[in-house]
Structure 1
């Protein structure tokens, strides 16, 4: 039982029972400054970080059949769920998008 407690403390990143007081002189992590926002015709453009989804490979294969290759691959634009939208930036500057419902994908 004691080993399980020690293992849980190590996995969770520490335990006050083993470390005592927190170090007041420890450096505090600071947030990175936000990337400059792009603006098109007075409207800010939101940059979405790349996230792979369960159907990313399927969408990349679909894009390859449309002569779209390159970039990071097919990134998830929406939240994960039964209906997902993927976006892939092609080498030639075009954008390939697909909608997947329960892992059945079709081009948008």
Structure 2
């Protein structure tokens, strides 16, 4: 298998690491064709998803929608962001059904303010 297509290499940290991530809300991410189900990447995806849901709920998420992963390539970030490697950044994402707000759980500070 080509290691660049191995989805098991996307998440390289334990579930509890999510608690160190930042939650942001963004209006609106409408193209979800490039999201990945966590179950495709992790044997214990439910442990991660449960923590992500908890953090999203604490931030104001309504609790609806599917938690997924979303990848952003490294060239989309400021060159000063040392946390961004050539692998880019994978966010945890859920799109709230009622109003379409996207909630993001990120290991780095995102380049926009919370609305």
TM-score (norm 2): 0.37
Q: Which has the larger radius of gyration?
A: 1
Higher fraction of helix: 2
TM-score (norm 1): 0.39
